[in-house]
C-alpha cells in the first residue's frame, strides 16, 4: 500500500486534502459547555459552592481538550488515535456531569421532586419506585444493577465497534451525538432541577435492594460518584439510547447483542431508585430528539465551515 493510500485509510480523508480543523464538533460542544458553566459560576458565585475551584478546573479541562486535539494531529496509528480521542471526549463528558452539580439551583433555588411525584401519581395512581418494592428480589436487583453499571463499558465498546466497522468519521459523528445528548441532559438539570428518589424520599423505602457483587458496586457508585440532582432527564437512559441508536446505524449485530442490556438499563434507573420513571422517559425522548437532529446539525456546520474556508 502506498503512503497516500495509507494516509487515506487512516484518516478517512482524500489524498492531499486540507487538514481538518484543530477543533472538531465534539470538542466545540465540550468547550461551549465549559464556557457556559464558567459564566454561570461567575454570575452566580454567591450561590455556587467552590465556584473559584470550578472555574479553575473548567479552564484546565479546556486547555487539555485543545492540547489533545493538537496531539491528535501528530498521531497516525489508528489504535492510539482511537484511545486518545475516546479518552478525551468521554472523560470530558464525565467531568461535565460532575461540574454541573453545584450549578443546579442557581436559577430556581429549589428542587421540583414534588411536582414529579404529583405527575406520576396522576398517571400511574401510585409512585412506581415504591410500587416496585413488591417485586424486589436479589436476583432481579443483581441483574438490573449489572445493566445499570454496563453503561460504563458500553461507551468504549460501542465506540470501538463503530471505529472498526465504519471508520473515524463515523466515530466522530457518534461523539458529537453523545456530547449533544449529555448537553441536553445537563441543561435540563439547570432548568428543572430534580433531586432524585433516594435524596428526596429515602425514608419511604422499606425493602432493601439486596444482591451481590454488582449490587454492591452500584451502591458504591451511588455513594461515591453520584450526587443530589442530575436526574431529569436521566443521562443514563439518554446516553444509553444514543449509544444503541449509533450501534443500530453502524453495526446492527452489536445493536441486537446489547439490546437486552439497554432495555434492562432503562428499567434499572427507577427500579434501583436512581431516578423517577419520568426521568427515564424524558431521557429516552431527549436522546431520540438529539439523534434525529444531529445529522442535520453536522451538515449545517460542515457547510458553514466550507463557506468560511472559501
Q: Closest Cα to residue 288, out of 245, 233, 253?
A: 245
Which residues touch 24 (CB under 8 Å, ≥6 apart)?
69, 172, 175
Neighbouring residues of 291: CB distance < 8 A, sequence distance ≥ 6: 177, 241, 242, 245, 246
d(CA 242, CA 289): 10
Query: What integer pLDDT is reported at residue 17 of this predicted model?
Result: 52
Go through 44-76 and write b for each residue having 16 or more CB atoms within 10 A of its CB, e for each that does not: eeeebeebeebbebbeebbeebeebbeebeeee
Residues 42-84: pLDDT tens digits? Answer: 999 999 999 999 999 999 999 999 999 999 999 999 999 999 9
Residue 136 CA: distances (Å) to CA of 5, 197, 226, 281: 57, 16, 22, 21
Identify the pLDDT of residue 6: 40
Q: Which sign, positive or negative, has the C-alpha torsion 129, 133, 134, 140?
A: positive
Nearest to 199 by CA among 226, 239, 221: 226
pLDDT bucket at 13, cuts 50 / 70 / 90: very low
Task: Please report where in the chains the cell 486540507 appears, as a residue.
Answer: 18
| Residue-averaged pLDDT of the chain | 92
Does pLDDT of 5 surpass 50?
A: no
SS3 content of the chain, % helix, strand, coil (to 5): 75, 0, 25
For residue range 88-143, list pLDDT tens digits in order: 999 999 999 999 999 999 999 999 999 999 999 999 999 999 999 999 999 999 99
Q: What percent of the chain has pLDDT over 90?
A: 87
The pTM is what? Answer: 0.91
Amino acid at each position: 500500500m502506498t503512503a497516500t493510500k495509507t494516509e487515506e485509510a487512516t484518516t478517512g480523508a482524500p489524498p492531499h486534502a486540507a487538514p481538518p480543523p484543530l477543533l472538531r464538533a465534539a470538542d466545540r460542544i465540550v468547550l461551549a459547555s465549559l464556557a457556559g458553566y464558567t459564566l454561570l459560576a461567575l454570575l452566580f458565585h454567591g450561590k455556587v459552592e467552590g465556584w473559584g475551584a470550578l472555574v479553575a478546573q473548567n479552564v484546565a479541562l479546556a486547555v487539555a481538550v485543545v492540547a489533545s486535539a493538537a496531539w491528535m494531529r501528530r498521531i497516525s496509528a489508528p489504535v492510539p488515535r482511537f484511545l486518545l480521542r475516546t479518552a478525551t471526549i468521554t472523560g470530558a463528558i464525565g467531568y461535565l456531569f460532575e461540574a454541573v452539580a453545584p450549578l443546579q439551583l442557581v436559577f430556581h433555588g429549589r428542587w421540583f421532586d414534588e411536582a414529579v411525584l404529583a405527575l406520576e401519581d396522576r398517571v400511574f395512581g401510585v409512585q412506581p419506585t415504591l410500587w416496585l418494592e413488591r417485586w424486589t428480589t436479589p436476583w432481579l436487583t443483581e441483574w438490573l444493577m449489572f445493566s445499570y453499571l454496563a453503561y460504563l463499558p458500553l461507551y468504549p465498546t460501542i465506540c470501538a465497534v463503530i471505529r472498526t466497522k465504519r471508520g473515524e468519521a463515523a466515530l466522530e459523528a457518534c461523539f458529537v451525538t453523545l456530547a449533544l445528548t449529555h448537553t441536553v441532559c445537563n441543561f435540563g438539570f439547570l432548568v428543572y432541577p430534580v433531586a432524585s428518589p433516594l435524596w428526596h424520599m429515602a425514608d419511604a423505602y422499606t425493602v432493601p435492594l439486596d444482591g451481590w457483587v454488582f449490587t454492591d458496586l452500584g451502591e458504591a457508585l451511588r455513594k461515591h460518584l453520584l450526587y443530589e440532582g442530575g436526574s431529569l432527564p436521566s443521562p443514563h437512559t439518554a446516553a444509553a439510547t444514543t449509544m444503541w441508536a449509533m450501534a443500530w446505524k453502524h453495526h446492527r449485530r452489536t445493536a441486537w447483542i446489547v439490546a437486552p442490556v439497554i432495555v434492562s438499563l432503562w428499567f434499572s434507573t427507577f427500579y434501583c431508585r436512581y431516578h423517577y420513571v419520568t426521568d427515564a422517559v424524558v431521557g429516552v425522548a431527549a436522546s431520540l430528539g438529539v439523534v434525529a437532529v444531529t445529522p442535520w446539525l453536522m451538515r449545517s456546520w460542515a457547510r458553514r465551515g466550507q463557506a468560511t474556508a472559501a
